[in-house]
């Protein structure tokens, strides 16, 4: 997968689940799939960084997302967090291909796509299931598997 296509796609993942994208990127750096050695973003390969992002991603999936009191992802706070996450994750991938700024931009665009597309997809799924939890779990699986595939298939 071309690094800039991966930046857009990882942004889409951030639009679905805020912390899944940086967790996947961090593990990708850790396992040598994303080359950030010698850059200011090399800290993403630290076991501490990967563990923190993974714990945040798990907390989001287990505690925050299924809570009916969680604000809409399209609200200012949730939307902003997803765009920042997508931009950061995309910048990391872009930096691995000497295109930090383009990766940042594509990651942010992907996050917007993922936020609105994910909300529409989940709404339709919830309507089809008759409740939200199966739709939420489906979206979790799409985000996790998608993130793994993006990192696994980097050129």
- Domain residue ranges of the chain, discontinuous segments joined by +: 3-152
pLDDT digits (tens, 9 = 90+) for 12-55: 999 999 999 999 999 999 999 999 999 999 999 999 999 999 99
Hey, what are 42's tokens? 């090399």
What is the residue-averaged pLDDT of the chain?
A: 97
Query: Coil, helix or strand for 10?
Result: helix
Round to whole Å and give the CA distance between 25 and 125: 28
> C-alpha 130: how far from its chain's center?
27
Residue 154 has pLDDT above 80, yes or no: yes
Q: Are 20 and 139 in contact (CB under 8 A)?
A: no
Mean pLDDT of all residues in 122-133: 97
Round to whole Å and give the CA distance between 145 and 155: 18
Q: What pLDDT was estimated at residue 71?
A: 95
Q: What pLDDT was estimated at residue 143?
A: 98
CA atoms within 13 A on the CB side of 82: 28
Mean pLDDT of all residues in 78-94: 98
Residue 139 has pLDDT above 70, yes or no: yes
Q: Residue 49: CB partners within 8 Å, gap ≥ 6?
A: 26, 43
Round to whole Å and give the CA distance between 133 and 12: 21
Q: What pLDDT was estimated at residue 77?
A: 96
Hey, what are 22's tokens? 């940086």
Q: What pLDDT was estimated at residue 13?
A: 99
Residue 106 has pLDDT above 80, yes or no: yes
pLDDT digits (tens, 9 = 90+) for 61-82: 999 999 989 999 999 999 999 9
pTM above the 0.95 mark?
Answer: yes
Round to whole Å and give the CA distance between 57 and 59: 5
Q: What pLDDT was estimated at residue 102?
A: 98
Higher pLDDT, 1 or 39: 39
Q: What pLDDT was estimated at residue 155?
A: 65
């Amino acid at each position: 997968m071309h690094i800039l296509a991966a930046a857009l796609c990882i942004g889409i993942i951030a639009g679905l689940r805020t912390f899944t994208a940086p967790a996947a990127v961090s593990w990708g750096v850790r396992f040598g799939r994303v080359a950030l050695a010698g850059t200011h973003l090399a800290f993403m390969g630290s076991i501490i960084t990967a563990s923190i992002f993974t714990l945040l991603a798990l907390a989001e999936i287990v505690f925050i997302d299924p809570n009916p009191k969680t604000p809409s992802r399209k609200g200012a706070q949730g939307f902003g967090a997803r765009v920042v996450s997508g931009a950061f994750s995309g910048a990391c991938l872009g930096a691995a291909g000497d295109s930090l700024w383009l990766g940042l931009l594509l990651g942010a665009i992907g996050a917007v796509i993922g936020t609105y597309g994910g909300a529409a997809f989940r709404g339709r799924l919830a309507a089809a299931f008759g409740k939200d939890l199966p739709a939420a779990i489906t979206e979790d699986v799409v985000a996790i598997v998608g993130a793994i595939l993006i990192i696994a298939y980097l050129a």
